Amino acid sequence: MKRWAVVGAVLAAAGIGAWAMGLGPFASGPMGGAVAPPAAASAPAGVGALGRVEPAGRIRRLAAPGLSMGARLERLLVDEGDTVKAGQVLAEFADAGQRDAAMAEAAARMAQASATLERTRRGGSESEVAAAEARVAALRAAEETARRDAARSASLVSSGAGAAAQAERNRFLATQRAAERATAEADLETLRNPRDEDVARAEADLAAAEAALARARADADLARLRAPSDGTILRVIARAGEAVGSDGVLEMGDLSRLDVVADVYETDLPRLREGAAAEVVVPGEAARHHAVVREIGWVVRRTTQAGTDPVAAVDARTVEVRLTLDEAGRQALLRRSGMQVQVAIRP
């Protein structure tokens, strides 16, 4: 019994010494139980915004140029969801047939002008030259006969045996035959050696015909709506037989790449960088789609996204930030162009 009393006294003395020295669980310093919690490291915050799904090349609203408002759509050659190639004809307007006829007429005129120029440069054929030579010979003979008749009539008048009126007619006929012979000789010379001025005039006529054909082709092309690039028809606005209004004919876009266009507050711009990872959430769906910041806009403007917060500022100033969806996200949102989504951009 006396032994246990001695052990208790020793333990009590050890505990008091430890408290006095600030050791063990009694310590008030860094080793004790009253240690202050370490300060938490401040991590950079991400950026949240509302956005919309859109093709990377934007949505294009197409209307045929050069047509007045109210032009009637004759044929619509595509439907929503069709894949088209650049330059493909999508629709034709009511005056396409008339413009095609004008183009065919211009093409015929150009062919005629081209043939005329070729003939002018080449000169006459052998048969044409021979015919012209024969005509010149005949006119020379006729001129000589007319001259003799005119001289005989003049001598008879001077002798008093002939009428003055007949002599006058014979002189006129001789002059006429001389003019016809001179014209035929000029034509023969032209057939043998084309004149430079004739060639220049034929070349000018051909150039004018070519310009008229080019204009007719351009007019005919204006009566057709063509795809400006590869893409998919997203929306048909006007159908065959309807008048085309200010909304155009259809909308199309290239769905090979999809973007999310986020309206980011201007105060969050310092925390953005191209290449930053982001997550896209469709309201009401649990899936999260991955995206990467591709482009940060250059213009600050009023927000275009309508949020659900009734106290949010409706005139907030934002910048458009384009994020490219990965392939899984593109497939999931392929038919949701224009849908509003929520975007979380990581720091």
Query: Is 30's pLDDT higher than 50?
Result: no
Query: Has residue 89 been placed in a domain?
Result: no
Q: What integer best gives the mean pLDDT of the chain?
A: 81
Q: Is residue 294 part of a domain?
A: yes
Question: pLDDT band at residue 127, thresholds of 50, 70 and 90?
Answer: confident
| Residue span of the structural domain in which 337 resides | 47-51+253-345
- Residue 12 — very low, low, confident or very high, per pLDDT cuts 50/70/90? very low
Q: Is residue 259 part of a domain?
A: yes
Distance between CA atoms of 65 and 91, rounded to whole angstroms? Answer: 13
% of the chain with per-residue pLDDT over 90: 48
Q: How confident is the model at residue 31 (pLDDT cuts 50, 70, 90)?
A: very low
Last residue of one domain, picked from the residues 194, 216, 238: 216
128 lies in the same domain as 211: yes
Is residue 179 a part of any domain in this protein? yes
- Band of residue 55 on the pLDDT scale cut at 50, 70, 90: very high
Residue 321 inside a domain? The answer is: yes
pLDDT on residue 85: 96
Confidence of residue 4 (pLDDT cuts 50, 70, 90): very low
Query: Are both 175 and 271 inside the same structural domain?
Result: no
pLDDT at 39: 45
Residue 316: predicted pLDDT: 78
Overall domain count for the chain: 2
197 lies in the same domain as 123 = yes
Tell me, yes or no, whether 260 and 167 share the same domain.
Answer: no
Question: Are both 212 and 265 inside the same structural domain?
Answer: no
What CATH number did the domain enclosing 318 receive?
2.40.30.170
Is 94 contained in some domain?
no
Domain assignment present for residue 303? The answer is yes
- Region 164-193 average pLDDT: 80
42 pLDDT tier (thresholds 50, 70, 90): low
Q: Using the predicted structure, report yes or no on whether residue 32 has a pLDDT greater than 70.
A: no
Which residue, of 199, 216, 233, is where some domain finishes?
A: 216
Q: Is the pTM of this model over 0.75?
A: no
Q: Are residues 206 and 290 in the same domain?
A: no
pLDDT: which is higher, 273 or 19: 273
My answer on whether 207 and 134 are in the same domain is yes
Confidence of residue 91 (pLDDT cuts 50, 70, 90): very high
Q: Is residue 99 part of a domain?
A: no
156 and 212 share one domain: yes
* 270 and 207 part of one domain: no
164: confidence class by pLDDT, cuts 50, 70, 90: confident
**Adjacency order of strands within the sheet including 89-93:** 73-76, 89-93, 224-226
Q: Are both 118 and 189 inside the same structural domain?
A: yes
Query: Are 120 and 212 found together in one domain?
Result: yes
What local confidence, expressed as pLDDT, does residue 23 receive? Answer: 37
209 and 264 housed in the same domain: no
